[in-house]
Amino acid sequence: MSETAREHPAVQKASSGNPRSIMYREALREALLEEMRRDASVFLLGEGIARRGGSYKVTEGLLNEFGPKRVIDTPLAEATFTGAGVGAALTGMRPVVEILFIDFSMLILDQIANQAAKLQFMTNKQCSVPMVLRTQGGAGNGLAAQHSQSLEAIFYHIPGLHLAMPATPYDAKGLMKSAIRSDFPVVFIEHKLLYMTEGEVPEEEYLIPFGEASIKRPGNDLTLVAWSNMLPRSLKAAESLAEEGIDIEVVDPRTLVPLDKKTIVDSVRKTQHLVIVQEAVRRGGVASDIASYVHEEAFDYLDAPIEIVAGLNTPIPYNLSLEKACIPQEVDIIEAVRRALARTV
Amino acid sequence: MIEVIVPQVGQDISTAVILEWKKKQGEEVAKGEVIAEVESDKAAFEVEAEADGVLAEILHGEGEEVEVFRPIAYIRLAGESDQTPRQAAAEAAPAASRRAPLDRGTAPIREEHRILASPAARRLAHKQDIDLTNIRGTGPGGRIILADIEEAIAACKAADTASTASDQDTLVPFTRMRQWIADRLTSSNLTIPHFHLTLDVDMTEVMAWRNTVRRRGETITVNDIIVKATAMALAAFPQMNAHVKEDKIILKKHVHLGVVTSVEDGLMVPVIPDADKKGLKTISAITRQNTEAARHGQMNLDYPGTFTVSSLGMFGIRQFTPIINLPQCAILAVGTVEKRVVPFKTEISVRDMMTLTLASDHRAVDGVVASQFLNKIKSDLENLNALISTWIQENPTTETEGVGRNARSDL
């Protein structure tokens, strides 16, 4: 996947001097490793993350280097160990709590929504919760309704939380390192289909600030906003459409909170057309919220109604064909682009 | 109960005027039977009953303008109740809400007049001072999109450069109004067997009287006087105040006199309603308002014209042969008032003369009636008695009465 001029300068340095391609899960592991080496207050909590090395091998080998006091296997008790993480963060530690599937995060909503998100506001910053909640979501491989959801909108809705959803190894590493150093509680949502994807990541240290979108593909005819696993799908759609001379700009917000509205609005002002792609169900989704911001700030620049391509308003079926039908595919994105650019002649 | 809907014939049609109801309220109708005749900008067409039944309620009378796709009547099917949906709604609605100034029921009608254009297209059109009514939308549902405006700008630029390049012809696409004029006049000229009568009128008395009135501070124009004289003649000759259909003549009850008014790149024919019953001052005021409104692209469509007067006098044109304004049966062309050497009584004299040309539809009108009609206008203009008496009725003071007397004594 080609990075663009708007990318972090480090990537150009790296790709010119020291090109290296690694997987998304390896990039995340590097981020955890580097931050744990740099800061002794960083520790990991989660199910199967220590001896097993994590279901997606993100924490592989970390137990050996940092020992069982900093890489802690927990029982299947999400509310308890997340609460422990919040408590540790209040004492000045920087815990990285892993919830194996975002679906299970429904068990920890009080700890996150009522405690972690609120405390720095309710204490006038006398305390803060510098915790990272690592989790992964999205559909793929027929894991059915309780292991396939995209629940970012729930965390997006709650003030006091930051929310990252990286789509590339480069973004995953840079954002994870920033998340660990942030004094805000950060919900960090990975995607199960992205762990094995590869991309260039420099060996030198770099950070990606929250609230800075990335233009993954520059273009002039239409803006496609997509995050997480919808980004590679959108880039593919953009490439198919480029063969017909349709020049699409693909913008990845990378963090949904804070949201880089300016980059999106500037892009729409340039292209006059907007398609937003989200894997989550349409109803009450982040895409609708982004659309409302664009209406507010770029109404006079829109040449067509904003199109939202989103998951169907239904629990994800187990059957693979039905699962596919519920989640936006490349062809759905292409169709939405055609609608937005349609002329009757 | 089923609705009788005005169909949309032609792409740009949004309204149509009901010319005639072929069936009365309460009359039985059969499926496919023609129940009304309506006319749009472009053409007249028939509205058929969609089912067997009884014409339960007529919502709009003849001459009324209605939106396409809107109901104009209800047909009651066998076994249905007597009450039409509109009557039922009127009964159900409390009186107060019916009188509410912001009647929700009328809102969608305005909405249908809206030009669909994307915000980006509107913004650029505004910036470039482009009139959206002249742009054809190519977006979904006919929405005007940015590309349409950009193409219009490009076309303008191309036309500009073409006109500056000396050996290039300039292509000017028809505006909607141009298209309307073109269609109407072509249709009139192709279908109506026109014949033209020409008559000279001695305007010396009119000019003198007009000048006297003017000195009194009244702004009556020669044209107003001709319009009034024509309206009086129309009242006397109902055959000339008619609409012509393929196989019939509709003698119109009212004299709604249209006056051709030139506007930017086109013309409009605003109407003076019941012109025969109005005094000169009122006619003059309405004409001024109409002209002003027409120049802003507005026209009162409540009164379909029954006759048209067209004047090119201000351009020094002595005489021209006009084309009838469908579906009317005649049109009067007014030439300039000029000094001519003419026999007067037993002398050779210099008089203010004017030439009138009447174009008539020979399907409906013959030469004798048309001649009598034209002579009636002539005599009313040359012998001011009738005109002055309407003036006195409108200005019932001795002083203004004196205007008339003075005018005559001036002669």
Show which of B173, B192, B211 is a domain's final residue: B173
Of B120, B122, B142, the CB nearest to A272: B120
User: Are B305 and B211 contained in the same domain?
Assistant: yes
Q: Considering just the CA atoms, what is the radius of gyration of chain B in Å?
A: 25
Of B123, B142, B145, the CB nearest to A300: B123
Residues of A in contact with B146 (CB under 8 A): 272, 303
Q: In chain A, which residue's Cα lies nearest the Cα of B126? A: A300
The pLDDT tens digits for B352-378 are 999 999 999 999 999 999 999 999 999
Q: Residue B163: is its pLDDT beyond 70? A: no
Whichever domain contains B138, its CATH number is 4.10.320.10
Show which of B76, B106, B136 is a domain's final residue: B106
Give domain status of residue B158, yes or no. yes
* B362 classed as catalytic: yes
Give the whole-angstrom CA distance, residue B272 versus residue B293: 13
User: Are B49 and B93 contained in the same domain?
Assistant: yes
Which site among B11, B126, B127, B143 would you substitute to test the A interface, given the most A Cβ atoms closer than 10 Å to its Cβ? B143
- Give the pLDDT score at A1: 40
Give the whole-angstrom CA distance, residue B62 versus residue A320: 65
User: Are B78 and B139 contained in the same domain?
Assistant: no
- Give the pLDDT score at B84: 62
The predicted model gives B281-304 an average pLDDT of 84
Q: What is the dihedral of CA A312, A317, A319, A325, to 10 degrees?
A: 0
Classify the C-alpha dihedral B402-B405-B407-B410 as positive or negative: negative
* The most confident of A232-246, B21-35, B158-172, by mean pLDDT: A232-246
The predicted model gives A99-118 an average pLDDT of 97
Helix (H) or strand (E) holding B123: helix B119-127
Percent above pLDDT 90 for chain A: 93
The reply to whether B208 touches chain A by the CB within 8 Å rule is: no
The reply to whether B138 touches chain A by the CB within 8 Å rule is: yes
Q: Residue B157: is its pLDDT beyond 90? A: no
User: Are B341 and B193 contained in the same domain?
Assistant: yes
User: Are B256 and B294 contained in the same domain?
Assistant: yes
User: Are B34 and B143 contained in the same domain?
Assistant: no
User: Are B150 and B98 contained in the same domain?
Assistant: no
Give domain status of residue B114, yes or no. no
User: Are B152 and B185 contained in the same domain?
Assistant: no
Give domain status of residue B113, yes or no. no
Give the whole-angstrom CA distance, residue A37 versus residue A213: 28
ipTM of the complex: 0.75
Give domain status of residue B112, yes or no. no
Classify the C-alpha dihedral B158-B160-B161-B167 as positive or negative: positive
Q: Residue A85: is its pLDDT beyond 50? A: yes
**What's the mean per-residue pLDDT of chain B?**
82
> Nearest-CA distance from B15 to chain A in Å?
24
Segment among A264-278, B46-60, B161-175, B297-311 with least mean pLDDT: B161-175
Q: Residue A104: is its pLDDT beyond 90? A: yes
User: Are B165 and B216 contained in the same domain?
Assistant: no
- Give the pLDDT score at B87: 59
- Give the pLDDT score at A9: 44
Q: In chain B, which residue's Cα lies nearest the Cα of A269? A: B120
Give domain status of residue B56, yes or no. yes
Smallest CA-to-CA distance from A172 within A8, A6, A4 is with: A8
> Nearest-CA distance from A298 to chain B in Å?
9
Q: Residue B112: is its pLDDT beyond 90? A: no
- Three-state DSSP class for residue B291: helix
User: Are B331 and B183 contained in the same domain?
Assistant: yes
The reply to whether B116 touches chain A by the CB within 8 Å rule is: no
Give the whole-angstrom CA distance, residue A160 versus residue A117: 4
Q: How far is CA A22 from the centre of its chain?
A: 18
Q: In chain A, which residue's Cα lies nearest the Cα of B144? A: A303
Identify the structural domains of chain A with CATH numbers, from first to last.
9-200 (3.40.50.970), 214-340 (3.40.50.920)
User: What are the φ and ψ backbone dihedral angles of B309, each rounded to 5 degrees?
Assistant: -115, 130
User: How many structural domains does chain B have?
Assistant: 3
- Give the pLDDT score at B384: 84
Helices (H), chain A: 9-17, 24-38, 62-66, 78-90, 109, 119-122, 152-156, 169-181, 230-242, 261-271, 286-298, 320-326, 330-340
Report which DSSP code applies to A306. Answer: P
Kindly provide the b/e burial profile for residues A208-220, where b requires at least 16 CB atoms within 10 angstroms of the residue's own CB: bebbbbbbbbebe
Sequential DSSP letters for B152-214: HHHHHHHHHHHHHSTTPPPP-PPPHHHHHHHHHHHHHHHH--EEEEEEEEE-HHHHHHHHHHH
* B366 classed as catalytic: yes
The pLDDT tens digits for B118-154 are 999 999 998 888 888 888 889 888 899 999 999 998 8
The predicted model gives B260-266 an average pLDDT of 84
The pLDDT tens digits for B296-307 are 777 777 788 999
For residue B137, give its domain range: 119-173
The pLDDT tens digits for A7-59 are 444 444 444 456 699 999 999 999 999 999 999 999 999 999 999 999 999 99
Give domain status of residue B214, yes or no. yes
- The answer, yes or no, to whether the previous bond of A185 is cis (omega within 30 of 0) is no
Query: CB B119 to CB A343 under 8 A?
Result: no
User: Are B130 and B252 contained in the same domain?
Assistant: no
Give domain status of residue B96, yes or no. yes
Give domain status of residue B309, yes or no. yes
Show which of B152, B173, B194 is a domain's final residue: B173
User: What is the reported pTM?
Assistant: 0.55
User: Are B140 and B79 contained in the same domain?
Assistant: no
Q: Residue A174: is its pLDDT beyond 60? A: yes
The pLDDT tens digits for A277-314 are 999 999 999 999 999 999 999 999 999 999 999 999 99
Give the whole-angstrom CA distance, residue B246 versus residue B238: 19
Question: Pairing relation of β-strands B330-334 and B307-311?
Answer: parallel
pLDDT band, very low/low/confident/very high, at B295 (cuts 50, 70, 90): confident
Which site among B123, B127, B136, B149 would you substitute to test the A interface, given the most A Cβ atoms closer than 10 Å to its Cβ? B123
- Give the pLDDT score at B397: 57
Whichever domain contains B93, its CATH number is 2.40.50.100
- Give the pLDDT score at B79: 72
The pLDDT tens digits for A189-218 are 999 999 999 999 999 999 999 999 999 999
Whichever domain contains B327, its CATH number is 3.30.559.10
Which site among A223, A269, A303 would you substitute to test the B interface, given the most B Cβ atoms closer than 10 Å to its Cβ? A303
Q: Residue B94: is its pLDDT beyond 60? A: no
